[in-house]
Amino acid sequence: MTAFKSIRALPLGKKAASRGLVAAAAVMSLAGCVVAPQQQMAPKEAPVVLGPAVRENVTPMEAVLACFGDHVASAMTATQRPPIVITVGDVKDYTGKYSINEGNAITQGGALMVYSALGKLGGAVQVAERFDPVIAERELGYADRRQLGDGRTHQLAGPNGGQTVPWLPYFGGSINKSDYFIVGGITELNYNINSGGAEIGVNQVGVKARTFSQSVGIDLRIVDTKTLMIVKTISLTKQFNGYEVGFNVFRFFGSKLYDIDVGAKGQEPVQMGVRAALEEGVVRLVAAVSKVDPNPCLGMRMTGELTLTPAEQMRKVPNPLVDASGAPVQQGEAVNAASQTGASLTGSSLQIPFEFGAAALTGGTLNLIDQIAAAAAKAPTEVVLVARDTENWDAGKRDMLTDQRIGMVTTALASRGLAPGGISVTWRPDKADTSIHRDGPGLQEIAKLRVQGAGRGGPARPVREENATGGK
């Protein structure tokens, strides 16, 4: 809210000085009501004005976002679906409204607001970074050139006995794919679409009041990342209201002429309204791909006084922690470990990589064995062994190397309490199969294991299932 108050006294007659002092005193007393707190931060520095403390940037959509996030989380838990992975493209200002004094009339950070809206849904959806991946791309470049380290050494195995290196081994495939992305823009800004008011003056004493409205419009769409087919489009508009009131006196009182203007004006914050519109757009778009009805939650929009509680604190349903098979979804340190070693979740299976021609597990991959053992104790877990797709050995050497690699994984799992009977080979290439079974860029599958916690036992060669050889 902006307020403007002014008092002007025009002295007449012989006592101009005293009347000037009275006017100055009146101005100073009025100014004392609007002076903000100040503090001198260091000796000889000018005092600085201190405003309110930082707070959560809440909008009228906080309750809606919390409610919808709970609904999506509940639906995922009931159906055991993995979280949908969504990212954001460019959400531009297409209004073209610009002032030479104030700059752009509409925020240029629409994409950042959409990211924040997705974050307010919590773990109901997973958010992938695509808007500014520069740092990640640089680090992947360092890893590819074997320049990226973590302050520790890593053991690599090879045909000549292996070596200890200070750089992080990288096998590719550490970046998770997205399922959908949101793009669009702010497309309308309509000034003064409606206004009204009144002004009355009698004997140079007047009052006035005025109201006015303006609006913005947004257009968003959500796109399937694989097919680039648009799943849903939306067009939303938000109207803003403002007011202005004033009181004016311009007349003589005795020998003095007074000119007094007192008034105030205010307007609903435009950028907050843009943020709220984008947040509602996110709810509607996520509803289209998650198949969760948003209407029960959209009725909770705040139209009066805003609640100061952010959506994160209003959520009641915990984030889902299972994937499509009911196995735990990797989070936090588990995700980091998988990324650093090249091991990753592929559907409901875990991926363990091997260096070119090597049978030994690296230090980073060994960390994943603990997670596999823990997951297998709760539910059967699929494990895929992969290697570089440049490996193209003759049938005898390939089969021997596959046996060694399976044995290394089996021994590592057995040392963590898994019985030999709980580890079985569900697939491996037949000796007559010379084809490369690719698994993502730069990798090939060399074997698949099924691991389940069936008690404790010592190291042993895993059991081959009847369909373990032959096709996949």
Q: What is the pLDDT of residue 128?
A: 93
Residues 33 and 67 in one domain: no
Nearest to 439 by CA among 398, 386, 401: 386
Residues 250 and 296 in one domain: yes
Residues 96 and 225 in one domain: yes
Residue 135 lies in a domain: no
Per-residue pLDDT at 299 exceeds 70 = yes
Residues 255 and 358 in one domain: no
Number of domains in the chain: 3
Residue 134 lies in a domain: no
Residues 410 and 458 in one domain: yes
Residue 324 lies in a domain: no
Q: What is the pLDDT of residue 266?
A: 66
- Per-residue pLDDT of 186-239, as tens digits, reads 999 888 777 666 667 666 666 767 677 888 999 999 999 999 999 999 999 988
The domain that holds 88 is classified in CATH as 3.40.50.10610
Residues 276 and 383 in one domain: no
Residues 45 and 70 in one domain: no
Residue 411 lies in a domain: yes
Going by C-beta distance under 8 Å and a sequence separation of 6 or more, which residues neighbour residue 423? 410, 413, 414, 449, 450, 451, 462, 463
Backbone angles phi, psi at 4, to 5 degrees: -135, 130
Residues 377 and 231 in one domain: no
Residues 114 and 255 in one domain: yes
Confidence label for 471 from pLDDT (cuts 50, 70 and 90)? very low
Residue 208 lies in a domain: yes
Question: Taking residues 340-352, what's their average pLDDT?
Answer: 51
Residues 192 and 108 in one domain: yes
Residue 391's domain spans which residues? 333-464
Nearest to 130 by CA among 112, 106, 148: 112
Residues 103 and 208 in one domain: yes
Confidence label for 465 from pLDDT (cuts 50, 70 and 90)? very low
